Structure 1
């Protein structure tokens, strides 16, 4: 089959990521972005879990009823590909695969993959930042050159990282960060503060997940601004899915995954009036 649209969803074997894939398939036919068959890459670290997720999608009763997948006469196909965003080589290998398989480019990427570890010490911080900040940054940098001009890149972050949790000095550093290096320096300073045991005295929160998502959100804005200044029409936004009942929230969330998927799916395939470099929650932009 020839695909008119190609999209990528990271961390998609369960939870919000899997729901994003489902909702893309369900909503694409009525999307203004629809101009023919859509191929969705469902990526995950573990091959067995990723392939099982594709089988779950193919057997999904709601998708069958809607005839969303091509096997039932619909527009979407879902294909698994291995991707671990905490490993540079894995990101680069997948990007190389996409470039070879889709030389004309892909249409969107939703960077959903992330971790939320229990506890708080410097190792938790390094592992959390390694995935949620540095991994998302590398995936963003590798995917962007592959996205057609006018396509979309969506980074799933969180209101847990809202800047109001930090000292006024740190808030100003985040808000004035214009380059990725400025944001990376903040993440390095946070790690150093935790290592020294004085992160609270320096105005940080003692929460690795929150800091990683603050970094990912502001990094997304910095990259969006740079791309806009270069004349690119690709829309780059960050969003919070809300407090979703998944493994990451240990079953404490108030939304189901399909509800959490709505904002990232909207940013990928709906008409968002060219809005770029913003933070979104509940399908609308809000102050971060």
Structure 2
């Protein structure tokens, strides 16, 4: 019998995160465990209780990625409980609407979407077992194609997660003090944020590539594509877009099917790599 597998999804009380938990539970076995995590205990418990039975066991855990120590604390607990993890989806996100003032929300936005991502990467990468998957849910906006060329070197070929955090902090501060508005930064805060997420995956992958390749581990960012959700509906017409459950299928395939070497450290959408930069 294969060893029990352990999976974890952040930001999993609704939308895509919840669909990922449900899909993992359905496609794994009764010997396996899927952790559904979120910031609020009541929402976590309600989400767990509402899931259909069968398949893997689903357990709820509190995880607020904006808490600087929360990911590390949970990683320690799961390491002690299971000895390691097999699948991690970093899906936690703070959403922004068209009427939000970027200067007013960028602190919290970067704390969840970007520093939350690097915290999860730092905490759970060391726990990955052979054949493990560590996947950051990002966007097709997370490439340098969507950033002015003068800003490309801010995020290209960064050597560490610390360097990524420094560049994200510099962008955040420029939004707060208004200098981003008069510079080359895009007005839509989602673009630099998603680029920062993909840059974090690329930086960690550059450090771990050799050992991860030997152990069959996949570290990647993934774009789920446009989904029919209330948040997306504030920006675009999503009436014809797939549901979160449908969008989750390609992400689950990436996590559960044999890894393709070309996906390592890249941004993947529907099984294809999205080029990081115009010159690549």
Q: TM-score normalised by the shorter chain: which range applies?
A: 0.7 to 0.9
Say if 2:23 and 2:252, in contact at 8 Å, map to a contact too: yes
State how many pairs are aligned: 266
Ranges in structure 1 where 5+ consecutive residues have no aligned partner: 30-35, 60-68, 70-74
Residues 225-281 of structure 1 show CA distances to partners (whole Å, capped at 9, x for unaligned) of 211145663210001111112243247531201122123212211112233101011
Residues 12-42 of structure 1 show CA distances to partners (whole Å, capped at 9, x for unaligned) of 111000111122233346xxxxxx7221001
SS in structure 1 at match of 2:232: coil
Partner of residue 64, structure 1: none
The TM-score, its normalising length taken from structure 1, stands at 0.85
SS in structure 2 at match of 1:249: helix
Question: Which one is further off, 226-235 or 150-159?
Answer: 226-235
Q: Does 1:124 align with 2:105?
A: yes
How far apart, CA to CA, are the structure 2 residues paired with 1:13 and 1:242?
A: 20
Say if 1:6 and 1:107, in contact at 8 Å, map to a contact too: yes
Partner of residue 263, structure 1: 250
Change (3 A) 1:250 1:84: farther
Question: Which one is further off, 12-21 or 172-181?
Answer: 172-181
Which of 24, 49, 74 does residue 55 from structure 1 map onto? 49
Partner of residue 158, structure 1: 139
SS in structure 2 at match of 1:199: helix
Which of 153, 164, 167 does residue 186 from structure 1 map onto? 167
SS in structure 1 at match of 2:124: helix
Say if 2:212 and 2:218, in contact at 8 Å, map to a contact too: no
Change (3 A) 1:140 1:171: same
SS in structure 2 at match of 1:261: helix
Alignment of 1:1-288 (within 5 A): 4-28=4-28, 37-58=31-52, 69=54, 75-103=55-83, 105-118=84-97, 119-230=100-211, 233=215, 234-250=217-233, 252-253=237-238, 254-274=241-261, 275-288=263-276
How far apart, CA to CA, are the structure 2 residues paired with 1:219 and 1:179?
A: 8
Instruction: Extract structure 1 runs of 4+ deviating beyond 6 A.
Output: none
Question: Which one is further off, 212-221 or 17-26?
Answer: 17-26
Residues 143-184 of structure 1 show CA distances to partners (whole Å, capped at 9, x for unaligned) of 111111331100001123332222112123322323223322
The TM-score, its normalising length taken from structure 2, stands at 0.87
Say if 1:86 and 1:135, in contact at 8 Å, map to a contact too: yes
Say if 1:224 and 1:235, in contact at 8 Å, map to a contact too: no
Residues 92-111 of structure 1 show CA distances to partners (whole Å, capped at 9, x for unaligned) of 221121012112x1111111
Say if 1:107 and 1:148, in contact at 8 Å, map to a contact too: yes
SS in structure 1 at match of 2:57: strand
- Cα offset for 1:81? 0.9
CA RMSD of aligned residues (A): 2.1
Ranges in structure 2 where 5+ consecutive residues have no aligned partner: none
Say if 1:111 and 1:156, in contact at 8 Å, map to a contact too: yes
How far apart, CA to CA, are the structure 1 residues paired with 2:199 and 2:174?
A: 20
SS in structure 2 at match of 1:129: helix
SS in structure 1 at match of 2:167: helix
Say if 1:16 and 1:246, in contact at 8 Å, map to a contact too: no
